[in-house]
């Protein structure tokens, strides 16, 4: 059973977190989840990774899951808070607990976007990003582009302003606080996404971890071009870039969320585990996304 924790964000906001395993050896791994996805979604993967020899820490960003207030209608938060207040605090907590062990991270979707906003991410030894992408709508094409335009130009502004939050039943997952959703949509409408508003390319280039960056062929939320665009920002990291198809792992589909289903324990989970758990001295050659 995981150990429930409360971690104070840098501004004092209480975040719900859970620790899996309590190893004295092996890496310490933080899982930074996707937008409007509870940490509970990653529970099976986190428990399995702990059995492989890691200590694993999951958490909920403010406004979601165990970090949700009683009401979202007047909840004052922005998406940037998830990076420079929440993720930064979680990484500092992990650094205080890990001792001499290396600190690694798995970022799913937005969990891989926010790393440049958290200075402590510069101390990560290994990173696996799963379907982490630039959210700029221009990276999509065809019907998915129309869907992104509808979400970022119409649905989020309409519901975010009218209700103070974006209901999960619109397809967002969990209910999303209005301020967070509105800032996300603002980023997505700009060609440079979040870099245009809350960070700099220099901050992203400071990360120097060994990195496994995954995109998935049937993922309509993170097309290959969007994943390449995001990872081009991490120019100081040693990145191995892999684009996976369902056929590669004997599946009919994976999609944006499928990686963390237990059906992929022997394939996708093992791939991530092998990367995270092998000796830190082993290095990948630097591989940049194609222009």
Tens digits of per-residue pLDDT, 28-81? 999 999 999 999 999 999 999 999 999 999 999 999 999 999 999 989 999 999
pLDDT in tens, 195-242: 999 999 999 999 999 999 999 999 999 999 999 999 999 999 999 999
pTM: predicted TM-score of the whole model, two decimal places: 0.94
Measured in residues, the chain has a length of: 291
Measured at the CA of 143, the angle between CA 141 and CA 148, to 5 degrees, comes to 75
By CB atoms closer than 10 A (0-12, 13-18, 19+), residue 1 is exposed
Domains in the chain (CATH in brackets) are 3-136+199-277 (3.40.50.1820)
**Contact, 230 vs 288, CB < 8 A?**
no
What is the average pLDDT score of the chain?
Answer: 94
* The pLDDT value given to residue 225: 97
pLDDT in tens, 12-38: 999 999 999 977 789 999 999 999 999
Per DSSP bridges, beta strands 126-130 and 210-216 are parallel
Residues with Cβ within 8 Å of residue 3, at least 6 apart in sequence: 18, 19, 20, 22
Q: 150: how many CB neighbours lie within 10 A of its CB?
A: 12
> Tokens representing 263?
């059906």
């Amino acid at each position: 059973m995981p150990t429930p924790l409360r971690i104070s964000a840098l501004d004092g906001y209480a975040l719900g977190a859970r620790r899996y395993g309590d190893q004295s050896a092996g890496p310490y791994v933080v899982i930074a989840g996707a937008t409007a996805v509870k940490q509970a979604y990653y529970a099976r993967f986190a428990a399995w990774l702990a059995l492989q020899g890691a200590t694993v820490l999951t958490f909920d960003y403010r406004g979601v899951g165990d970090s949700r207030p009683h009401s979202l209608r007047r909840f004052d938060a922005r998406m940037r808070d998830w990076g420079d207040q929440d993720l930064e605090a979680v990484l500092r907590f992990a650094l205080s607990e890990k001792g001499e062990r290396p600190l690694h991270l798995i970022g799913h979707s937005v969990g891989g976007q926010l790393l440049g906003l958290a200075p402590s991410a510069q101390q990560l030894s290994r990173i696996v990003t799963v379907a982490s992408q630039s959210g700029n709508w221009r990276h999509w094409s065809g019907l998915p582009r129309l869907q992104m335009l509808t979400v970022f130009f119409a649905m989020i502004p309409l519901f975010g302003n009218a209700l103070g939050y974006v209901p999960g039943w619109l397809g967002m997952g969990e209910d999303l606080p209005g301020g967070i959703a509105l800032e996300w949509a603002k980023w997505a409408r700009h060609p440079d996404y979040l870099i245009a508003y809350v960070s700099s390319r220099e901050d992203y280039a400071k990360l120097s971890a060994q990195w496994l960056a995954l995109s998935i062929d049937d993922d309509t939320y993170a097309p290959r071009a969007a994943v390449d665009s995001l990872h081009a920002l991490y120019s100081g990291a040693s990145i191995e870039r892999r684009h996976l198809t369902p056929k590669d792992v004997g599946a009919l589909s994976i999609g944006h969320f499928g990686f963390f289903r237990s059906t992929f324990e022997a394939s996708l989970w093992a791939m991530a585990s092998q990367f995270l758990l092998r000796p830190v001295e082993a290095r990948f050659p630097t591989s940049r996304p194609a222009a």
